Amino acid sequence: MQKYFSIIVSTFLLTFIFSAFSWGAVPLTALAVKSSSTGSHSFGPAPQVLKEVYSDRILWEGEKKRITLAGQENTSGEGIGAPEGMILIPAGDYISGLDPNVGYEECKKYAKSCEKEWYLHEGPEHEVWVDAFYMDKYEVTQIEFEKVIRKNPSKHKGDNLPVERVLWNESQEYCEKVGKRLPTEAEWEKAAKGGRDTLYPWGNEVVSGMANFCDVNCKAYFKAEQFDDGFKGTAPVGSYPPNGYGLHDMAGNVWEWVSDWFDKNYYKNAPRKNPKGPPKGMKKGLRGGSWGNNASAMRSSTRSWAHNNRVSRRGFRCALDAPS
């Protein structure tokens, strides 16, 4: 009798442990497959990327992440030792800028109207050295911005959407208040390339499902109807795969302010090591393209500029010096 009683108790305990493990002892994870739909490219089929949704952040397979039972994100692999939410960008050389003819030809692939003069400020190509630094993994969100600056100027409202319609001085103020700074234009471009020498962070052709730009969902006349990124406006940060360094949305979603004053001829005489832009100017630099821009603006070399006014395509992320 005692033998049978022991078997029953053991079975009950195993059932209890299995149930607890399945219904709350570990986080339940929703799995989904994000596929790239239309568009051809030279690197084989557009990748299908497995993602896990947890605590309103999207964790892509390959990021080397683990989740504790308390819901905290712990980094292993890339970015180890970096401040929370940041990635270490290693020191080194890279080729900055692009032959303006390349940008012009890319534009003609995806837009009905293009002008060569739009791309003259992207050249000449030149070698740049950047010291190691940390970069925010995601664009600053509205909930993060509002907690620090106590307002939310965004047009497209959502806690986990990138803050937009933000002024340059507001982005600088936010970064300073959280102990960081805006990245330089040279730092931003190195980070965007992700250690690769390709036109776009993911390769040399535009494909669906890699960035948020003006596609079939966009109302602009220059929209690229052959692509579908899934959003009419801004997308929640981290909605697309990371680049080679593990950074999300370095192409599209919102333009990102950099610390530099903008000079269309700066690349012709820029210092090789840690360039910081002109000493003065009238407009600040922007990088990365946005949800409202043509597909070719997703190139890592794309440069833009603006006066300090509010536009729903402009956001930012912060950087931080790495220990020398």
Amino acid at 309: N
- Which pLDDT belongs to residue 104? 94
Residue 93 phi/psi, 5-degree rounding, is -85, 155
Residue pLDDT tens, the chain, 324 long = 444 445 444 444 444 443 433 333 333 223 232 333 333 323 233 333 323 322 333 434 333 332 222 233 333 335 457 899 999 999 999 999 999 999 999 998 888 788 999 999 999 999 999 999 999 999 999 999 999 999 999 999 999 999 999 999 999 999 999 999 999 999 999 999 999 999 999 999 998 899 998 876 677 656 666 676 778 889 999 999 999 999 999 999 999 999 999 999 999 999 999 999 999 999 999 999 999 888 889 999 999 999 988 999 999 999 999 998
- Which pLDDT belongs to residue 226? 63
**Which DSSP string corresponds to 94-147?**
EEES--HHHHHHHHHHH-S---GGGGGGG-S-EEEEE--EEEESSPPBHHHHHH
- Which pLDDT belongs to residue 49? 32
- Which pLDDT belongs to residue 308? 86
- Which pLDDT belongs to residue 57? 37
Eight-class DSSP state of 292: T
Of the chain, the end-to-end C-alpha distance in Å amounts to: 72
- Which pLDDT belongs to residue 81? 76
**Which DSSP string corresponds to 10-36?**
HHHHHHHHHHHIIIIIS---EEEEEE-
Tokens of 316: 């930012």
- Which pLDDT belongs to residue 210? 92
Domain 81-321 falls under CATH 3.90.1580.10: yes
Spatial CA neighbour of 256 closest among 233, 286, 301, 283:
286
Domain extents in the chain: 81-321
